[in-house]
Amino acid sequence: MAGASRVRFRVLAFAFLLTVITYLDRVCISAAAPAIMAELHISVLQMSAVFSAFILAYSIFEIPSGWLGDVRGPRQVLTRIVIWWSAFTMLSGAAQGFRSLVVIRFLFGAGEAGAFPNVIRSFARWFPRRERGRASGIMFLGSRLGGMLSAPIALLLIARVGWRASFVLFGAIGLVWAAAWAWSYRDNPAEHPDVNAQELAWIEQDSSTPPIGHVTTPWRALLGSRTVWAICVMYTAYGYGLYFYLTWLPTYLISELGFSALGGGFFASLPFLLAGIADVVGGWATDRLARSHGLRIARAGLGATAFTASAALLFAATLAPHPVAKAALLATALGSADLALSAAWAAPLDVAAAHAGVVTGLMNTFGNLGGLVAPWVVGFSVERLHSWNLPFHITAAVYAIGARAWLAIDPTKAIRQ
């Protein structure tokens, strides 16, 4: 690699910033939820519908947007995605009631769908197999940094300028990213003026690099793959667990556990801090285990262990007597689940790199369908059953199912055209 350019790390930097912005725009509404509910006279169950409107649209449009990235390339598709979602993030501040907020968040979710599949599609073209786990880990560190910063920044902005203006400020950031991406990125590394021959040879060192241009999607082979469906079940469990942290965590910390705005902001950020560390560690671990013990241990073994530990930590949180202990255990549970995140996104590249947009879109659709259910379970349990512990017990059981699904994934069996 002596004398090689390092343009692929610019691509990684773009991906990192994209995931920061993605989660800033997603999580800011959870921090703003108490103010929104008070001003617009929205109930707990209605706010669950607002959260779920985004997730529903995100799920519906995830596969089409991922497929579009396979066909047209991430440069064009991601530019459109980020401009769309940034515009509807800004429009969230113009909501006048429950119905308008649901419609705006649905369209926001429709626009953001496909962001992660298209980033992973760019990784399949810009990184060799041996670097993809670490690249995914660093990318998801960005998402957790965004999640970590969103709650305290949003709470501060809401206190200073109100919840409506805070959405405008968050949305404006994405427009800057979209302009820079469209100007700098190339779908084919060979066409980038700053990539030299040494780096291009490194990028294309193995047979898993997908072709450039239009590819025919082998729908029958993909939908008939046991591994693809196991990936979908596994990620359903992950998405179900994640969306509590993206929706109800600030409300739980402040309304149920009695934390102040400052304390609630800290403990709302802590899960994403631990998850970000886990993303980097998990990315390094899955690449290292792949070289030393093979892909099944690196992906399925690591994933099953992480999910099992997360289930145990969530259950322990319901038994902890002190609010600080509960909050710390909840934070550690997300960190444990995120140890498997790089492996989860590397597995689709192992089995179908040429169709990474479709497979990761399918996976993320199921993950968000799991996330679609989670806010409703919490809202129903709290409003109708007056219980916060029940949702945690259910999530622990879901993670246990996800751990079993991990063991059915075989990343060594690639799907051929």
Cα–Cα distance between 304 and 381 in angstroms, integer?
Answer: 28
Asked whether the predicted pLDDT for residue 2 surpasses 60, the reply is no
Q: What percent of the chain has pLDDT over 90?
A: 30
Q: Report the pLDDT value the prediction gives residue 407, as an integer from 0 to 100.
A: 95
Q: Under CATH, to which class is 7-195+215-407 assigned?
A: mainly alpha
Q: Report the pLDDT value the prediction gives residue 200, as an integer from 0 to 100.
A: 86
Top pLDDT among 27 and 282 is at 282
Asked whether the predicted pLDDT for residue 210 surpasses 70, the reply is no
Centre a 10 Å sphere on the Cβ of residue 360 and count the other Cβ atoms it contains: 31
Q: What is the mean pLDDT of residues 379-386?
A: 83
Whether 15 contacts 235, CB under 8 Å = no
Q: What angle do CA 130, 115, 12 make, to 5 degrees?
A: 40
Whether 314 contacts 337, CB under 8 Å = no
Instruction: Report the interhelical angle of 115-126 vs 7-40 (nearest 10°).
Output: 170
Q: Report the pLDDT value the prediction gives residue 349, as an integer from 0 to 100.
A: 81
Mean pLDDT of the chain: 86
The residue ranges of every structural domain in the chain are: 7-195+215-407
Asked whether the predicted pLDDT for residue 299 surpasses 80, the reply is yes
Confidence of residue 213 (pLDDT cuts 50, 70, 90): low
Asked whether the predicted pLDDT for residue 178 surpasses 70, the reply is yes
Asked whether the predicted pLDDT for residue 246 surpasses 90, the reply is no
Q: Report the pLDDT value the prediction gives residue 311, as an integer from 0 to 100.
A: 96
Q: Report the pLDDT value the prediction gives residue 297, as an integer from 0 to 100.
A: 93
Q: Strand, helix or coil at 258? A: coil
CA 75 to mean position of chain CA atoms: 20
Top pLDDT among 232 and 365 is at 232
pLDDT tens profile 40-76:
998 878 888 888 888 788 888 888 888 888 788 889 9
Asked whether the predicted pLDDT for residue 209 surpasses 60, the reply is no
Q: What is the mean pLDDT of residues 332-354?
A: 88
Cα–Cα distance between 15 and 11 in angstroms, integer?
Answer: 6
Asked whether the predicted pLDDT for residue 30 surpasses 60, the reply is yes
Q: How far apart are the first and last CA of the chain?
A: 32
Q: What is the mean pLDDT of residues 383-402?
A: 91
Element at 140 (helix H, strand E) = helix 129-161
Top pLDDT among 146 and 15 is at 15
Asked whether the predicted pLDDT for residue 217 surpasses 90, the reply is no
pLDDT tens profile 124-168:
888 887 788 888 888 888 877 877 777 777 778 888 888 888 888
pLDDT tens profile 344-362:
988 888 888 777 778 888 8
Q: Report the pLDDT value the prediction gives residue 263, as an integer from 0 to 100.
A: 82
Top pLDDT among 10 and 209 is at 10
Confidence of residue 312 (pLDDT cuts 50, 70, 90): very high
Q: Report the pLDDT value the prediction gives residue 334, as an integer from 0 to 100.
A: 93
